[in-house]
């Protein structure tokens, strides 16, 4: 039996980015789906009927009576659950997830995935998503589960910008979250960020998902999109290099202005033996008028002998 960190869920990017309808009402639905999918081998050519124990769905050694009842309700709902898959720009396909699913008195769940979804789970060789099952099982929020699957499908790139309304549609958020970004941020984004990154630290593997995020605003206040950053170390290094390059350019520009301003002042002073009247708009003249300019040094009588300095 493979180690827990090696147990993965393989699915197409289309499925990872699809909506589950109706919206799950507990974490058990997504956990059941992921555990059944993980039972399929990567070289399988058809779906088999698999059995899992309710104990496999939780991190606890034993489920409480309440949890067991929740699992039974989740099984009943999954018998009518489908995925909405986008087809083209405006098309939409709605496909039931399971051909059959049931739970017996001993807490064993038997399920077989709908054969129509074969191209999304079996013999995948491109555009697929790999999920770490132990990480996924550690998530305690429905929104965290949905974001985990969605973001995992984009983790091959450095970052992904998602329109805020697309996120609301994907997660099927209530109207209160759509009207108030602060609530959406507090109860969805921040919870998912904490749970997913904490799970990655507890169960590290080569399929681990870690991310950072930031709100993208239109103007000063309205948030219109969310930027998710995945290859954090790489992106931070790129940002650091970009910042350092910009700082070097600023230093080089400032040095060029300083050199030109001082040369201009010395030339004027040597020829006319009097102070010039700098133009306010010129960068060189602004530098001369600043506390760092040679003219200002001389005016303040700081002991700078320009003629002697020039002959040394």
Residues 81 and 200 occupy one common structural domain: yes
CATH code of the domain containing 178 = 1.10.10.10
How far, in Å, are 45, 109, 123, 265, 298 from residue 269 at the CA level? Answer: 88, 93, 81, 6, 11
Residues 300 and 151 occupy one common structural domain: no
Residues 56 and 183 occupy one common structural domain: yes
Residues 230 and 261 occupy one common structural domain: no
Token duo for residue 41: 């081998």
Domain boundary among 209, 234, 259: 234
Q: Which long-range contacts (CB under 8 A, 24 or more apart) does 50-54 make?
A: 50/110, 50/111, 50/112, 51/108, 51/109, 51/110, 52/108, 52/109, 52/111, 53/107, 53/108, 53/109, 54/103, 54/107, 54/108, 54/109
Residue-level pLDDT at 299 = 58
Residue-level pLDDT at 55 = 86
Residue 87, beta-bridge partner list: 91
- pLDDT tens profile 114-150: 999 998 988 787 777 878 888 888 899 999 999 999 9
Q: What is the DSSP letter of 185?
A: I
By 3-state DSSP, what share of the chain in percent is helix, strand and coil, each rounded to 5? 50, 20, 30
Task: Report the number of distinct structural domains present in the chain.
Answer: 2
CA torsion, points 125, 128, 132, 137, in degrees to nearest 10?
Answer: -130
Give, for 22, the enclosing helix (H) or strand (E): none
- pLDDT tens profile 26-69: 999 999 999 999 888 877 889 999 999 988 888 767 778 888 89
Q: How confident is the model at residue 233 (pLDDT cuts 50, 70, 90)?
A: low
Counting residues of the chain whose pLDDT is more than 70, the rounded percentage is 81
Nearest to 173 by CA among 141, 195, 198: 141
Domain boundary among 189, 213, 234: 234
Domain boundary among 192, 217, 234: 234
Q: How confident is the model at residue 174 (pLDDT cuts 50, 70, 90)?
A: very high
Residues 117 and 221 occupy one common structural domain: yes
CB burial of residue 245 (10 Å; 0-12, 13-18, 19+): exposed
Residue 215 pLDDT more than 60?
A: yes
Residue-level pLDDT at 269 = 66
Residues 79 and 119 occupy one common structural domain: yes
Residues 61 and 182 occupy one common structural domain: yes
In this structure, of 18-27, 78-87, 210-219, 233-242, the range with the lowest mean pLDDT score is 233-242
Residues 109 and 148 occupy one common structural domain: yes
Angle made by CA atoms 120, 42, 124, in degrees to the nearest 5: 35
Of how many residues is the chain composed? 312
Residues 61 and 159 occupy one common structural domain: yes
Q: What's the rounded Cα separation, in Å, for the pair 312 and 174? A: 77
Residue 205 pLDDT more than 70?
A: no
Residues 145 and 50 occupy one common structural domain: yes
CB contact at 8 A, 190 and 196: no
- Residue 278, classed as helix, strand or coil, is coil
Residues 143 and 259 occupy one common structural domain: no
Residues 87 and 116 occupy one common structural domain: yes
Range of the domain at 224: 4-234
Residue-level pLDDT at 277 = 65
């Amino acid at each position: 039996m493979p180690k827990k960190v090696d147990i993965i869920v393989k699915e197409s990017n289309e499925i990872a980015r699809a909506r589950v309808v109706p919206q799950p009402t507990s974490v058990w639905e997504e956990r059941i789906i992921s555990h059944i999918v993980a039972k399929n081998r990567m070289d399988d050519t058809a779906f088999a009927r698999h059995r899992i124990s309710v104990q496999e769905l939780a991190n606890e050694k034993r489920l409480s009576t309440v949890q067991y009842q929740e699992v039974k309700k989740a099984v009943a709902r999954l018998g009518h659950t489908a995925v909405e898959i986008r087809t083209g720009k405006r098309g939409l396909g709605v496909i039931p997830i399971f051909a059959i699913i049931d739970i017996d008195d001993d807490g064993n769940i038997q399920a077989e995935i709908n054969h129509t979804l074969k191209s999304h789970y079996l013999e995948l060789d491109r555009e697929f998503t790999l999920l770490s099952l132990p990480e996924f099982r550690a998530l305690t929020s429905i929104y965290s589960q949905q974001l985990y699957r969605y973001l995992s499908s984009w983790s091959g790139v450095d970052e992904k910008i998602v329109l805020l309304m697309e996120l609301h549609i994907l997660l099927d958020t209530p109207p209160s979250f759509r009207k108030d970004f602060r609530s959406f941020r507090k109860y969805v984004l921040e919870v998912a960020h904490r749970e997913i990154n904490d799970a990655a630290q507890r169960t590290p593997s080569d399929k681990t998902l870690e991310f950072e995020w930031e709100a993208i605003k239109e103007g000063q206040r309205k948030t219109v999109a969310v930027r998710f950053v995945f290859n954090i170390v790489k992106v931070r290094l790129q940002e650091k290099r970009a910042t350092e390059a910009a700082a070097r350019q600023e230093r080089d520009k400032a040095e060029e202005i300083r050199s030109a301003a001082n040369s201009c002042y010395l030339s004027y002073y040597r020829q006319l033996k009097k102070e010039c009247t700098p133009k306010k708009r010129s960068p060189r003249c602004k530098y001369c008028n600043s506390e760092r300019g040679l003219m200002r040094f001389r005016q303040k009588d700081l002991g700078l002998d320009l003629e002697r300095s020039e002959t040394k």
